[in-house]
Amino acid sequence: MKKLLPLVLVALLVQGCASTGSVKKAGYVGLSVAGQALFLIQNTEMGLVCDRPGAPPAPACVSEALHTTEISPRLAKAFAIGERASGTLRALPPTISGATPEVIAFVKQIWDLVGELMTLLPQSDPAKKLAAKVDALAAKK
Amino acid sequence: MQILQILFALAPKIIQVAQQGKEAWEAYIEAQKVEGDAEINDGLDALKSEFTRRRIIAEHEAGLS
């Protein structure tokens, strides 16, 4: 599914542009949904780090090393892309038409990182619930 | 009778799936509500601020800041 996400995203974003008539709005909706997926991942993952209050016991918890060296840097990178995408979209004139490859590329990069982050999380009930929510968001792209 | 038993057994799962779909739907609908360039720009400004706030947290968690 994770390999298909970017392709579905691009198709829906282009379709959204055509159907709503507003490239900027379609980009904003796509970026908002991708951002929501990232926010959910960060909220959930912070509570899964081993030895933190409410974290599940090993092996279901996220080790400190995984949290520090793999997950947090990817989240930071994804949020930085989100910042750039927001700025790029904001700078677009309201009347712009046609595809915006730069914004589509930014949103695709965010979903790629969402896919990577989900595969890094150890199996646990909260991780399963998170995966269901992220899948539901992916379907809204 | 058997159908009712099955429905009762599945009820928690059905409710859980519906709630997960609801969150995604709400995020999507919130973004879709925005109309006009000024509102879109306001939404993008708010989104950018939230990305920045969360990037700072993630960098701190990664020991990068």
Chain B residue numbers with beta carbons less than 8 Å from the beta carbon of A129 are 16, 20
> What values do phi and psi take at A45, rounded to 5?
-65, -35
Residue A62 phi/psi, 5° resolution? -90, 120
Q: How much is the pLDDT for A15?
A: 46
Residue of A71, A83, A92, A97 best to disrupt the B interface, most CBs of B under 10 A: A83
Residue pLDDT, tens place only, A75-133:
999 999 999 999 999 999 888 877 788 999 999 999 999 999 999 999 999 999 999 99
User: Taking residues B3-23, what's their average pLDDT?
Assistant: 61
Is there a contact between B59 and A137 if contact means CB atoms under 8 Å apart?
no
Nearest to A118 by CA among A17, A21, A45, A32: A45
Considering only CB atoms, which chain B residues are within 8 Å of A136? 20-21, 23-25
Please, which residues bridge with residue A49 across strands? Answer: A62
The mean pLDDT value of chain B amounts to 78
Residue A62 β-bridge partners: A49
Measured in degrees and rounded to the nearest 5, phi and psi for residue A17 equal -60, -45
pLDDT > 70: what percent of chain A? 84
Of 3.40.1350, 2.60.40, 1.10.357, 1.20.140, which CATH number belongs to A4-140?
A: 1.20.140
pTM of the model: 0.79
8 Å CB contact of A42 and B45: no
Structure tokens at A19: 């159907």
Q: What is the DSSP secondary structure assignment for residue A78, as one 8-state letter? A: H
A31/B52 CB distance under 8 A: no
Tokens linked to A3: 């390999």
pLDDT over threshold 50, residue B58: yes
**pLDDT tens per residue across span A57-80:** 999 999 999 999 999 999 999 999
B1: helix, strand or coil: coil
For residue B10, what pLDDT is reported? 61
Q: Choose among A35, A73, A94: nearest Cβ to B51.
A: A35
Q: Would you say the ipTM is above 0.85?
A: no
CB within 8 Å: A133 and B59: no
The confidence score (pLDDT) of residue A4 equals: 45
Of all residues in chain B, what percent carry a pLDDT higher than 90?
40
Give the position of tokens 């968690």. Answer: B61
Q: Where are the domains of chain A?
A: 4-140
